[in-house]
Chain A
Amino acid sequence: MLDRAQPQAKGAQQARAIRIAILAMGGEGGGVLAEWIVDLAEHGGFLAQLTSVPGVAQRTGATIYYVELFPKAALAEGAPQPVMALMPMPGDVDIVIASELMEAGRAVQRGLVTPDRTALIASTHRVFSMTEKIAMADGRADAPVLLEACRNSAKAFFGADLAAAAERTGSVISAVLFGALAQSRTLPFERQAFESTIERAGVGVAASKRGFAAGMTAVSGEASAVPIEGSVSRDTTSGEAAATSADDGTQASLAALIAQTESAFPATARAVVRVGLERLADYQDLDYAQDYLLRLKPVVDAERRHGDGSGRLLAETARELALGMAYEDTIRVAELKIRGSRFVRVREEVQAREGQIIEIAEFMHPRLKEIAESVPAWLGRLMLRPGLLRSAIENATRKGRIVKTTSIRGFLQLYLVASLKTRRRSSLRFAEEEVRLTAWLDRVVATAAKDYALAVELAECRGLVKGYGDTHERGVANYESIIGLVDHIAERPEPAKRLQDLRKAAVADDSGSALKAAIAQLGLN
């Protein structure tokens, strides 16, 4: 076994295997895609080698498939077989296929994507990692940064939301990626050869071919240049809320209210205020929306007098005030659950087809406190007083309930709760929220005169109060303890920054330890 041909003379065309790395997550069909590429190549005059590291990575983890293709034409008669590598080497990969944007980012991070060599074919949609998902607020990675890195490090970048293309065509992402690979023209095979491979595989051929075609279209020409959505900021003018609210009568009066904002509010806040008005008219009634405008008046003044031109104080306060006034109580939840528009939306979400019947069941766990807070105050106080009524309600609410909204009985139960809406203003919760909101609003306005940035932060702090049950209680407690520190903070350097740190600490974990640590760091007392 000592005889081997010496390396070919320098300058001669060196035969070289095509190196392809596929980054996917368990269950996405990365293996199928790799097998297709092998089949495609073997039928197109290439030798193919494929390997992977399945193991536990299959259980939803990230994994890499690696394929090398060698042209049979470059094989001399009786010469040894090419030696193909079993793993991608940074700087030495011709094609990287990534099933998702962060996986594409991972390929960049590992140095697999290089500007001198690599064509990067990636779906730009996001499958969020556990770290991103479990954040108490918004822990998403910066998608535009990932996308930019893909563009900057690849020789050619073919990116589009291929998951959407898969969904549209009732196919899977592996088929769409195969189409994108064909469209990239990085492999020496014609479209027909790709499609023949899908046919030979023989499983779900029609759907795979649809997905394949969609993949080709998605990364052709301009499609690849479509910017993806930013991770945080969105257009606040897209008023979905309006769609849920009622018909012409309200619309007309609401329109009048909105018209008022044209003159009274600066352009930077108009979009938010408009959504706020729509939300509150829907939540309660036109008067309530009118209240909203009235309450914002002092903030408008404060913005005009002390603003830095950004309009942030008014916009943030208007946003938080709308959310605060439209707090989530049992009445609101019941109303949202039984709306006709919601039934339609659920059908869409679960992708129900014509002829299928959908039954919807809700998982509710109203507790004594929530019930007592929703009924008129006198009744609520009676419920909270130790006694027969209280223990009866406590007994009845010990366990969560499953309410079938699509059954007549379940629907009417929620309908009854929703009809308490007219009495909402007389409920305990309403009074409690009024007090908290008023105190907050006064404080924001008063602070604006002294420190605009701090006032903006203060406005945002109200966002800590949200949710239901434990979440709501935790939020209120965090909010109260932070607000209690504002006077101390105001006397320190960079108060706005300090307040922001506290607010972020409050949503860093749900045990409250980050907030406790942040407060300790302030070194009060």
Chain B
Amino acid sequence: MAERSFAEEVKKLRLGAGDEFRGEGILAITKALLESGVSYVAGYQGAPISHLMDVLADANEILEDLGVHFENSASEATAAATLAASVNYPLRGAVTFKAPVGTNVASDALANLTSGGVKGGAMIIIGEDYGEGSSIMQERSHPFAMKSQIWLLDPRPNLPTIVRMVEKGFELSEASNTPVMLEVRIRACHVYGRFTTKDNVRPSFTLKDAIESPARDVTRIAMPPGTYVHEKEKVEKRWPAAVKYIAENELNEFFDGEAADIGIVMQGGMYNTALRGLEVLGLADAFGAAKVPIYVLNVTYPLVDAEFVKFCTGKKAILIVEEGQPDFIEQAVNTILRRADIQTKVHGKDMLSMAGEYTGAVVRDGLKRFVAQYRRDMLPEERPVEGDNSRKSAMAAVNGQVQPRPPSFCTGCPERPIFTAMKLVERELGPHHVSCDIGCHLFSIFPPFNIGATTMGYGLGGAGASAFNVKADKRVVSIMGDGGFWHNGLASSVGNAVFNKSDNVIIVVDNGYTSATGGQDIPSSFWNNPIRATQNSIEKAVRGVGVEWARTITRTYDLTKMRDTLKEALTTPEKGPKVIVAQSECMLNKQRRVRPQMRAAVERGERVVRERFGVDADTCTGDHSCIRLSGCPSLTIAPHPDPLRKEPVTKVLDSCVGCGLCGEVAHAAKLCPSFYRASIIENPTQWDQMKARLRDAIIGFFQRRLARKAAFA
């Protein structure tokens, strides 16, 4: 079950014609899919589109009512391949994943899909994870659209436009027999806004119809000689059909402005930022009315040559606001204008930055540069900002004081002890090369653990260690999460290691969910899921592909066992890959599950024992070894209550969930005796109370004696 429940929100998916929808962008897209009459939806979770998957999972009832099939795909490749249903049948389908990493994984299926083309509308909704808050390498999805010929929609980031583009996207796909990509950036995915809804549409042709009366068309299969025909078809038929549809339906938007001799072209997704830049520069009002003409590309691929010719005619210069690099649009526009022999100067990356997110300040400054060059008369006089010097000195003052806060393991995270164990093994056997994967475990690369050398992709932790397969006195360790394992790791990392007779160690972190993406279920998830088959063993799977040395540790917090198993894997003479499956439930999800249960039990008057840890400040000497071996958010520092000591003490916050690692660390690393575990017994029984009274009497006697002795020492 996902970390966030959308049970309330999914009710909005039932809104009918003329109702007002209020909510997040992702939910609006989901609603738009239902209004467009999709037959099936699939995808792989990942920020920023995780919520789309979670919403659909929570909306299964509504989907069933409408006859819509929904799948949690095993990977983005699976998701993209799902669109094959739209090749031979008039079925509308949508898949979703984060990009460009998901697009990378999906590109095989996408290329095959686009070669033959589609009959039913096929839409790929990509959450473009670029800029601030992104968790992946900074690349664009644009070239995927270009290389496989997929139309790329980049709507203005407001709900009515996004919803309209979903609807029009399906029509465009069908009109041009080409899949379309709907690109939504992180903030657009999470933007809260409004739009007026329509009724949901039940598909007229269903998946059942297709299964029961199968159709095939060999000319649609990506196999020579068909592939040669497909390529011609792409440029001769599908492209012109798309351009015609885009122009006729005015998918791109023109906004007039008094400065007719210049203009600004922008990706739809850049619109709000650019307009705010213009507003701040005094060149637009709050409603989007600008002094400079604007051409908004809600479709960034293909470009419509005629629209550019129309927009640029009579203009001295245009500025293209295109986020990310390379500057595909700017290059294409130069070609378009050159061919049309239009002398308008094209600016873009020369005035805005080539790389990096187009934040408010970047866009504002670029717009200012552009207008200053051609229409300085339109810019208001610059006046020094009040108090600017004190702002600047304040900014300089905080520079050395503000430290980064990279994401890290949550309080009580079961992955933490795995890395603590690695640290302890490092003390004995020295450092090892560590190949990482994608997922929460990758936080290990940051302090305090500083473990991990590379990450090559989802499920590729083991694969990233492939070359290190020669005789050596040490082994290489690779790490994978259970998400990565089922996504790709079983074959690409584990199977590959078996086949190539690798001697290395692979740790699979089995916490029961794809935790980094929001706690969705996977084949090895521990709990029952009414619509999915869970509880499939990872150890059985690796043995199935030929691993002989496999150990499952059922409680990662058992630090000694974790350390010893790891040591054994690194030193055993046994050949072949050594796989350690380290199991314990994701604490974030566990707490979400267990906390309400405990609260309810306490309210019912039942005996409940809650554990948490603490540090005795008077024995803590402020060395912080314990923090360096843990990094738990609930483990922090506080001023030392002892006036003789300068170093802050370690302190355990009340957010501690009593996972036990602190105690295990104190033992395994032979740290100080300052940690204690407090068991708090709620609603104690009479037996508890009797025991406590007896204890208090005896202990109290000795405590008083001790105090007296101290007094007369």
Q: Nearest Cβ in chain B — how far from A125, in angstroms?
A: 11
Known: A7-B284, A83-B272, A400-B670. A140 touches B646 (CB 8 A): no
Give the size of the chain B interface in residues (CB under 8 angstroms): 136
Q: Nearest Cβ in chain B — how far from A13, in angstroms?
A: 11
A225 to B677, CA, bound (A): 39
Per a CB cutoff under 8 Å, which of A133, A150, A364, A418 touches B706? Answer: A418
Q: Which residues of B contact A232 (CB under 8 A)?
A: 646
- B470 touches A (CB below 8 Å): no
Q: In the complex the two chains form, is B699's CB within 8 Å of A406's CB?
A: yes
Q: Nearest Cβ in chain B — how far from A271, in angstroms?
A: 8
Give the size of the chain A interface in residues (CB under 8 angstroms): 160
Q: Which residues of A contact B670 (CB under 8 A)?
A: 365, 367, 400, 469-470
List B671-700 residues whose CB lies under 8 Å from chain A: 671-673, 675-682, 684, 688-689, 692, 694-695, 698-700
Q: Which residues of A contact B641 (CB under 8 A)?
A: 240
Q: Mask for A229-264, Cβ within 8 A of B = 1, else 0?
A: 100101111111100111111100000000000000
Q: In the complex the two chains form, is A250's CB within 8 Å of B711's CB?
A: yes
Q: Which residues of B contact A437 (CB under 8 A)?
A: none
Per a CB cutoff under 8 Å, which of B643, B667, B671, B689 touches A236? Answer: B643
Q: Nearest Cβ in chain A — how far from B632, in angstroms?
A: 10
Q: In the complex the two chains form, is B711's CB within 8 Å of A246's CB?
A: yes
Q: Which residues of A contact B385 (CB under 8 A)?
A: 91, 114-116
A51 to B273, CA, bound (A): 13
- A272 touches B (CB below 8 Å): yes
A408 to B701, CA, bound (A): 11
- A350 touches B (CB below 8 Å): yes
Q: In the complex the two chains form, is B666's CB within 8 Å of A363's CB?
A: yes
Q: Mask for B655-679, Cβ within 8 A of A = 1, else 0?
A: 0000000110011111111011111
Per a CB cutoff under 8 Å, which of A84, A108, A131, A247 touches B447? Answer: A131
List A386-418 residues whose CB lies under 8 Å from chain B: 399-400, 402, 405-408, 411-412, 415, 418
A367 to B669, CA, bound (A): 12
Known: A55-B47, A418-B706. A337 touches B391 (CB 8 A): no
Stretch at the interface among A176-184, A293-301, A304-312, A351-359: A351-359
Q: Nearest Cβ in chain A — how far from B241, in angstroms?
A: 23
Q: Which residues of B contact A328 (CB under 8 A)?
A: 619, 621, 672
Q: Which residues of B contact A362 (CB under 8 A)?
A: 673, 675-676
Shortest Cβ distance from B668 into A: residue: A400
A89 to B276, CA, bound (A): 9
Per a CB cutoff under 8 Å, which of A26, A52, A145, A241 touches B401? Answer: A145
Known: A60-B633, A240-B643, A241-B642. A83 touches B271 (CB 8 A): yes
- A512 touches B (CB below 8 Å): no
Q: Nearest Cβ in chain B — how far from A190, in angstroms?
A: 24
Known: A53-B133, A249-B712, A469-B672. A129 touches B403 (CB 8 A): yes
- B289 touches A (CB below 8 Å): yes
A4 to B286, CA, bound (A): 12
List A78-110 residues whose CB lies under 8 Å from chain B: 79-92, 102, 105-106, 108-109
Q: Which residues of B contact A336 (CB under 8 A)?
A: 616, 618-619
Q: Mask for A317-358, Cβ within 8 A of B = 1, else 0?
A: 001001100001000110111111011001001111001111
Q: In the complex the two chains form, is B625's CB within 8 Å of A86's CB?
A: no
Q: In the complex the two chains form, is B47's CB within 8 Å of A86's CB?
A: no
- A268 touches B (CB below 8 Å): no
Per a CB cutoff under 8 Å, which of B254, B407, B447 touches A2? Answer: B254
Shortest Cβ distance from A110 into B: residue: B395
Q: Which residues of B contact A105 (CB under 8 A)?
A: 398, 401-402
Q: In the complex the two chains form, is A53's CB within 8 Å of B186's CB?
A: yes
A322 to B644, CA, bound (A): 8
Q: Nearest Cβ in chain B — how far from A121, in angstroms?
A: 16
Q: Which residues of A contact B446 (CB under 8 A)?
A: 130
Q: Which residues of A contact B684 (CB under 8 A)?
A: 355-357
Q: Nearest Cβ in chain A — how far from B22, in angstroms?
A: 8
List A206-240 residues whose CB lies under 8 Å from chain B: 229, 232, 234-240
Shortest Cβ distance from A237 into B: residue: B643
Q: Nearest Cβ in chain A — how far from B670, in angstroms?
A: 4
Per a CB cutoff under 8 Å, which of B254, B273, B288, B612 touches A86? Answer: B273
Q: In the complex the two chains form, is B288's CB within 8 Å of A4's CB?
A: yes
Shortest Cβ distance from A26 into B: residue: B407
Stretch at the interface among B188-196, B324-332, B533-541, B562-570: B188-196
Q: In the complex the two chains form, is B672's CB within 8 Å of A467's CB?
A: yes
Known: A357-B681, A358-B678, A365-B667. A468 touches B398 (CB 8 A): no
A84 to B188, CA, bound (A): 12
Q: Nearest Cβ in chain A — how far from B486, in angstroms?
A: 20
Per a CB cutoff under 8 Å, which of B272, B275, B285, B398 touches A146? Answer: B398
Q: In the complex the two chains form, is B673's CB within 8 Å of A82's CB?
A: no
Shortest Cβ distance from B364 into A: residue: A89
Q: In the complex the two chains form, is A115's CB within 8 Å of B187's CB?
A: no
- B456 touches A (CB below 8 Å): no
- A485 touches B (CB below 8 Å): no
Known: A49-B191, A240-B643, A471-B625. A360 touches B286 (CB 8 A): no
Per a CB cutoff under 8 Å, which of A56, A87, A109, A127 touches B407? Answer: A56
Q: In the complex the two chains form, is B187's CB within 8 Å of A132's CB?
A: no
Q: Nearest Cβ in chain B — how far from A310, in angstroms?
A: 17
Q: Which residues of A contact B409 (CB under 8 A)?
A: 59-60
Q: Which residues of B contact A4 (CB under 8 A)?
A: 255-256, 287-290
- A457 touches B (CB below 8 Å): no
- B453 touches A (CB below 8 Å): no
List B243-290 residues whose CB lies under 8 Å from chain A: 250, 253-256, 258, 271-273, 275-277, 279-280, 283-290
Q: Which residues of A contact B573 (CB under 8 A)?
A: none
Q: Nearest Cβ in chain B — how far from A413, in angstroms?
A: 12
Shortest Cβ distance from B677 into A: residue: A361
Q: Mask for B172-215, Cβ within 8 A of A = 1, else 0?
A: 00000000000000111011110000000000000000000000
Q: Mask for A171-212, Cβ within 8 A of B = 1, else 0?
A: 000000000000000000000000000000000000000000
Q: Nearest Cβ in chain A — how far from B293, in angstroms?
A: 10
Known: A108-B395, A114-B387. A134 touches B289 (CB 8 A): no
Stretch at the interface among A277-285, A372-380, A439-447, A486-494: A277-285
Stretch at the interface among A14-22, A425-433, A448-456, A516-524: A14-22
Known: A49-B192, A239-B643. A80 touches B288 (CB 8 A): yes
Q: In the complex the two chains form, is A135's CB within 8 Å of B624's CB?
A: yes
Q: Which residues of B contact A80 (CB under 8 A)?
A: 287-289
Q: Which residues of B contact A57 (CB under 8 A)?
A: 133, 407
Q: Nearest Cβ in chain A — how far from B103, in angstroms?
A: 17
- B516 touches A (CB below 8 Å): yes
A44 to B622, CA, bound (A): 51
Q: Which residues of B contact A17 (CB under 8 A)?
A: 286
Q: Mask for A122-166, Cβ within 8 A of B = 1, else 0?
A: 000001111111111110111001101110110100000000000
- B406 touches A (CB below 8 Å): yes
Q: In the complex the two chains form, is B290's CB within 8 Å of A7's CB?
A: yes
Q: Which residues of A contact B271 (CB under 8 A)?
A: 83
A130 to B404, CA, bound (A): 9
- B645 touches A (CB below 8 Å): yes
Q: Which residues of B contact A48 (CB under 8 A)?
A: 192
Q: In the complex the two chains form, is B710's CB within 8 Å of A115's CB?
A: no
- B116 touches A (CB below 8 Å): no
Candidate in A60, A238, A470 with the most chain B CB atoms within 10 angstroms: A60
Shortest Cβ distance from A114 into B: residue: B391
Q: Can you report 19 residue pairs joining A to B where beta carbons are below 8 Å apart?
A: A25-B405, A50-B192, A56-B407, A59-B409, A87-B187, A89-B276, A89-B364, A91-B385, A111-B361, A114-B388, A246-B711, A281-B713, A337-B676, A346-B614, A352-B678, A363-B667, A363-B673, A364-B673, A467-B625
Q: For the complex of A and B, list the 8 residue pairs with the smallest distance between their C-beta atoms, beginning with the closest.
A: A115-B387, A400-B667, A89-B360, A53-B133, A246-B711, A55-B47, A153-B394, A61-B407
Known: A51-B188, A145-B398. 8 other contacts (CB 8 A): A60-B410, A83-B272, A89-B361, A130-B446, A246-B713, A285-B713, A408-B695, A510-B625
